[in-house]
A and B are shown apart, each in its own frame.
Chain A
Amino acid sequence: MADFNLIGQSFGPQDLVAKITGRAKYAEDFRAEGMLFTKLLVSPMPHARVRSIDYSEALRLPGVVAVLTADEVPQEDHPFEPCLTNEPLYEGEPILAVAAVDETTAADAIELIRVDLEPLPFALNPLDSLRPGGPNATLMGNVYQEREVVELKWPQEVFDAANEPDQMPLGEANDEWEYGDLEAGFANADYIMEETLCCQSVTHHPMEPRTAMAYWQNGKLYMHSSVQSVAQSRRGIADRLGLELDDVILISEYCGGGFGSKIRGSVTEVIPALLARKTGRPVMMRITRAEETAIGRGRPGMLGWARMGFRNDGRMTALDLFLVQDNGPYSRQGDSGTSGDVAALAYTPESMRFRTVRVLTNTPPRAAQRGPGGVQIVSMLEPMVDRAARQIGVDRLQVRLVNAPNAETQFGRGSYELTSCFAGEALSRGAELFNWSERSQRSGQRNGSKVRGVGIALSPYYGGTSGWDGLVVIRPDGKLYIHQGVGNLGTHSCIDTAKAAAEVLNADWANCEVVFGNTSRHLPHSSSQSGSQTTHAHTRANWVVGQAAKGLLQELAALELGGSPSDYDVSGGRVHRIGAPGTGLTFAQAAERAIARGGKFDGHELPEDINDMTRTSATALAGQGLVAAAKDNLPHTARTYSFVATFIEVEVDVETGAFEIIDVTSVADCGTVLNPRSLAAQANGGVIQGIGIARSFKWAIDPTWGVHLSKRIEATKPPAMLDVPTTLTFEAVDLPDPQNPVGSKGIGEPPVGAGAGALLCAVEDALGGLAPSHQPVTPDKILSIVESGSLGWSRLETHV
């Protein structure tokens, strides 16, 4: 493994001081001359059609400048999600926007508007929609068939066959795959278990709602918006408004989190842009928490069923998995499909069948949420695997080790191969750190009303893509400017991945500047800040562009100082002759020479294969220094996955159903560690988010009215300070991935499933294997299970 200067060192992110002191400007902190504010009129019904709107009185209110209706915004057929609609598909969906001189006036104007809505049938629980005669969430149908929305109903017999209220009906799926001989797998099993699965939808609730401010200048749109990714969101905005990419300037240097809900910006962010165009004035749309609950996306919940076959040694011989995905009303969500792959990877069953159906519901729109599909399946299956392990008498660590994937594993729908896999190492190291052998002996130990329990979960998740661009400039000021089109949503990867370029150039980090968050600063075509891809994708892209810059420096030095490029090396902010360090050029000199020579040295000639956005940016930078742009063409021949193994010990009070988390230990296989401090923060943050999903985070929608009842963070209950131990242990296996030049893989998502799964397993362990099997495991459910062995209501209820 290469010896790195920057990779593997702890750094504080360069925006830390700005964030802590409040100098960092988020979307809603911007003001512009003559700026208006807009407020939204949203649907009070889960599914309705606008019959008429009368906003004449609102327009007469002093201070009101304009009204924007669905008729004035881009519309396409479902599943396209418009920013304003005349057929709201969920409660809280924006119908109309009012722009006024201040927010109070805009809100008061909303109250003067008459909207006549015709209520339409709505579905909240996917099973209700699949019943014969059940409601469809949209006028086109209720399920996704490939990319089309069609109608699918299961015959009554399917529901009758599932006679218990808790038992999952198994009807027709419309997406399935299979490998191995499932029948033989079950026939060869020593132990078979089958169970109903369920997992709740949960809202994203990033700290910063999807606020946006927009204005137009000379035909160009200037947009301050809270987005996860910059280059990709700029594309998103251009697409939604039908603009040329160059006509959109997106400024988003700081984003207060997104968790997947702002990957390409958000549907509603174009509302201020359209109002700004209509009024000729800047328009600010601050999104409130209640609005964010509705438009801010959620994780698809799932109802399902699994059948598992095990040999006596714990090896999984067969897995039959059926998932009904609560898809929300709009775009098709990939979660359940990913769940299938993740299950296949986590347990490498000898044979497997996967079936799913994605059902539309009139609940807030879904989007990827940190570990989409992975969190759901890990949290549903890990406790089930535990129950099986208890039955066959195999240690719960052992059952995971025996089924864990390795570098040779092929898995999932496409028999995918892995670039690397150290899942077993993560499990073993975690067991060692956690002291599993000793702690697992304490399982079920009772002290007064308190019972101990331990749990493990292994959570695999995507760890990166490839093929993006890098763009760096060495300016006459002697600094290396690393341009990043990824977003800065608090994960540090925006900064950390830039180090790959600095690493190649042996640059002093203090002499480097990362340019990000504002497309007018000429950013390259970058990956979206999602799918844990940034670390992998942009260490690659920046490595490649670092190499390109190094090549240019060497070539330049050879031209300027003689010799051949290979006679030169780059370090200490200079390009210098190998063996004669005194002969060379400083970065400042090189930048000036590059400008003087022009052509490929200063960006006037660019590689053929880079993306147009990168080309435009590099062209704009041309002549400002030594400009290097490059596309990541490094080999990427398999799928990159990261793995997190989390171990949790809890103490459950069986008299109250409350529990305390005693210890959380996680070990990750995420390749080479880029920045230990950021990594621990990111991994533990993910584990905590998973713990929150398992123990308290939820949303609640009234089944009769389809109206959201948990519109504040206080009611959605993400984990709070005292819900996790003060110290969480984290370590990385720190073994390099061979298909990444620095050896890194993504880490954003796998910890979430690990945290959720391990906690559920630990709680269930304390209860002697009795499971609430319903997330989150709040005290009411635990106590009900302790008292009567059942929840007292059906586990198949959704949005409870």
Chain B
Amino acid sequence: MELFRRTFNPWNQEILIGVSWTLLYVAIVAGAAFIIGHAIYAGFIAKKEVPPTDEDVRRVAPNAPERVERHTMTSRISHWILAVSVLALLITGFVPVLGLQFPWVTIHWIAGLVLAAYTVFHTAHVVKRRTLGTMWVSRKELGEMWARVKLMAGGHGAEPPKPGKWAIENKAFHHLTMTAGLVVVGTGLLMMLRVDTVFASANPYILSDATWGVMFVLHGIASVVFVGAIMVHIYFALHPEKHWITWSMIRGWISRRDYAWHHDPKRWPVPPKSVPLKGVSPREPSGTPATHHEP
């Protein structure tokens, strides 16, 4: 399989102009395979997790409030902006490749700018809040992940402890999309210089053909990675077992039950009284949506 698209420049020198679009199909197939695999595993193989009883919740998280804040308003808004921009980027970037033509360029770079702005904001935000270390993956976590994988594969052993605020798969997803995101944003911003925008007239000559080739390849690979990653991400967001997370990204909080169920309060201590969440009616019934816990 040809991994790259190449052509000849006006001097008849062979140049890279991007990754082979076959890679897009590879990413889609890989994403779909993962989803199907997971669906089969979750549906037929994995033993159903039993939700903790009220007793369990009180025991595990005696001091936790009913609603445990998982995402601040700021991070929720920025997540959804990010989501919209990434979807817009993927649709505008790839739908024409798949054969449906429409004027995509302007939407693409505007969405790209949103993504870039998000990147800057998010970085500034975590720097300001000194939460850069939140996503750090420790050696211990890696060990736990390995143990979990062994269990899933039918191995024996003790259930590893539950994670803190961020499970390792969350962290992994974060790092993958962060890397791909930085690559697409960096290369994408440069590529904006190749077309007319409100900021500048087109100038494809600021970099050499060879450098552009690398840019296109990086942009392409990162975008293709995004396709797979976002497919899986959306799959989990829609997966019944993960609805509590999806809801938390909308409402900002998780229930005390989910807190106790999915997290290790020692690793993610929360203050006893959670601040009332903005935008959420205090009269709203407590607890996680019933659907979560139905067998």
Residues of A within 8 A of B (CB): 44-45, 117, 119, 702, 704-705, 707
Q: In the complex, what distance in Å separates the CA atom of A119 from the CA atom of B13?
A: 10
Closest-by-CB residue of A relative to B12 is: A44
**13 intermolecular pairs with C-beta atoms under 8 Å apart:** A44-B10, A44-B11, A44-B12, A45-B11, A117-B11, A119-B11, A119-B13, A702-B10, A704-B205, A705-B10, A705-B11, A707-B10, A707-B11
Shortest CB distance A704–B (Å): 6
Q: In the complex, what distance in Å separates the CA atom of A45 from the CA atom of B8?
A: 13
Shortest CB distance A569–B (Å): 71
Give the number of residues in B that approach A within 8 Å (Cβ atoms): 5
Q: In the complex, what distance in Å separates the CA atom of A44 from the CA atom of B11?
A: 5
Q: In the complex, what distance in Å separates the CA atom of A704 from the CA atom of B10?
A: 10
Given contacts A704-B205, A705-B10, 11 further A-B contacts (CB under 8 A): A44-B10, A44-B11, A44-B12, A45-B11, A117-B11, A119-B11, A119-B13, A702-B10, A705-B11, A707-B10, A707-B11
Shortest CB distance A92–B (Å): 12
Shortest CB distance A119–B (Å): 6
B12 cross-chain contacts in A, Cβ below 8 A:
44
Closest-by-CB residue of A relative to B205 is: A704
Closest-by-CB residue of B relative to A48 is: B11
Q: In the complex, what distance in Å separates the CA atom of A702 from the CA atom of B10?
A: 10
Q: In the complex, what distance in Å separates the CA atom of A696 from the CA atom of B193?
A: 34
Q: In the complex, what distance in Å separates the CA atom of A44 from the CA atom of B12?
A: 7
Within 8 A of A (CB), among B198-212: 205
Q: In the complex, what distance in Å separates the CA atom of A119 from the CA atom of B11?
A: 9
Total of A-B residue pairs, C-beta within 8 Å: 13
Shortest CB distance B248–A (Å): 54
Shortest CB distance B12–A (Å): 4
Shortest CB distance A702–B (Å): 8
Shortest CB distance B189–A (Å): 23
**CB 8 Å contact bits of B189-228 with A (1 = contact, 0 = none):** 0000000000000000100000000000000000000000
Q: In the complex, what distance in Å separates the CA atom of A710 from the CA atom of B12?
A: 18
Q: In the complex, what distance in Å separates the CA atom of A705 from the CA atom of B209?
A: 12
Shortest CB distance A173–B (Å): 33
B13 cross-chain contacts in A, Cβ below 8 A:
119
Q: In the complex, what distance in Å separates the CA atom of A796 from the CA atom of B69?
A: 68
A117 cross-chain contacts in B, Cβ below 8 A:
11
Most B C-beta atoms less than 10 A away, residue of A44, A117, A707: A44
Most A C-beta atoms less than 10 A away, residue of B11, B12, B13, B205: B11
Q: In the complex, what distance in Å separates the CA atom of A702 from the CA atom of B205?
A: 13
**CB 8 Å contact bits of B3-35 with A (1 = contact, 0 = none):** 000000011110000000000000000000000
Closest-by-CB residue of B relative to A115 is: B12
Shortest CB distance A571–B (Å): 68
A119 cross-chain contacts in B, Cβ below 8 A:
11, 13
3 shortest interchain CB distances as A-B pairs? A44-B12, A705-B10, A45-B11
Within 8 A of A (CB), among B75-115: none
Shortest CB distance A520–B (Å): 43
Q: In the complex, what distance in Å separates the CA atom of A702 from the CA atom of B13?
A: 17
Q: In the complex, what distance in Å separates the CA atom of A707 from the CA atom of B9?
A: 12
Shortest CB distance B82–A (Å): 38
Q: In the complex, what distance in Å separates the CA atom of A603 from the CA atom of B33?
A: 99
A44 cross-chain contacts in B, Cβ below 8 A:
10-12
Q: In the complex, what distance in Å separates the CA atom of A102 from the CA atom of B78?
A: 68
A704 cross-chain contacts in B, Cβ below 8 A:
205
B10 cross-chain contacts in A, Cβ below 8 A:
44, 702, 705, 707
Closest-by-CB residue of A relative to B8 is: A44
B205 cross-chain contacts in A, Cβ below 8 A:
704
Q: In the complex, what distance in Å separates the CA atom of A495 from the CA atom of B205?
A: 56
Shortest CB distance A573–B (Å): 65
Shortest CB distance A293–B (Å): 16
Closest-by-CB residue of A relative to B9 is: A705
**CB 8 Å contact bits of B164-208 with A (1 = contact, 0 = none):** 000000000000000000000000000000000000000001000
**CB 8 Å contact bits of B36-67 with A (1 = contact, 0 = none):** 00000000000000000000000000000000
Q: In the complex, what distance in Å separates the CA atom of A707 from the CA atom of B11?
A: 8
Shortest CB distance A765–B (Å): 37
Q: In the complex, what distance in Å separates the CA atom of A614 from the CA atom of B192?
A: 71
Closest-by-CB residue of A relative to B204 is: A704
Q: In the complex, what distance in Å separates the CA atom of A44 from the CA atom of B8?
A: 11
A45 cross-chain contacts in B, Cβ below 8 A:
11
Q: In the complex, what distance in Å separates the CA atom of A117 from the CA atom of B12?
A: 9
Shortest CB distance A115–B (Å): 8
Q: In the complex, what distance in Å separates the CA atom of A705 from the CA atom of B12?
A: 11
Q: In the complex, what distance in Å separates the CA atom of A704 from the CA atom of B208?
A: 12
A707 cross-chain contacts in B, Cβ below 8 A:
10-11
Shortest CB distance A399–B (Å): 45
Shortest CB distance A779–B (Å): 24
Shortest CB distance A294–B (Å): 14
Q: In the complex, what distance in Å separates the CA atom of A704 from the CA atom of B13?
A: 15
Q: In the complex, what distance in Å separates the CA atom of A117 from the CA atom of B10?
A: 13
Within 8 A of A (CB), among B249-284: none
Q: In the complex, what distance in Å separates the CA atom of A119 from the CA atom of B210?
A: 14
Shortest CB distance B156–A (Å): 62
Q: In the complex, what distance in Å separates the CA atom of A705 from the CA atom of B13?
A: 12
Shortest CB distance B14–A (Å): 11
Q: In the complex, what distance in Å separates the CA atom of A789 from the CA atom of B179?
A: 53
A705 cross-chain contacts in B, Cβ below 8 A:
10-11
Q: In the complex, what distance in Å separates the CA atom of A704 from the CA atom of B12?
A: 15
Shortest CB distance A711–B (Å): 13
Within 8 A of A (CB), among B99-158: none
B11 cross-chain contacts in A, Cβ below 8 A:
44-45, 117, 119, 705, 707
Shortest CB distance B165–A (Å): 53
Shortest CB distance B201–A (Å): 14
Shortest CB distance B50–A (Å): 69
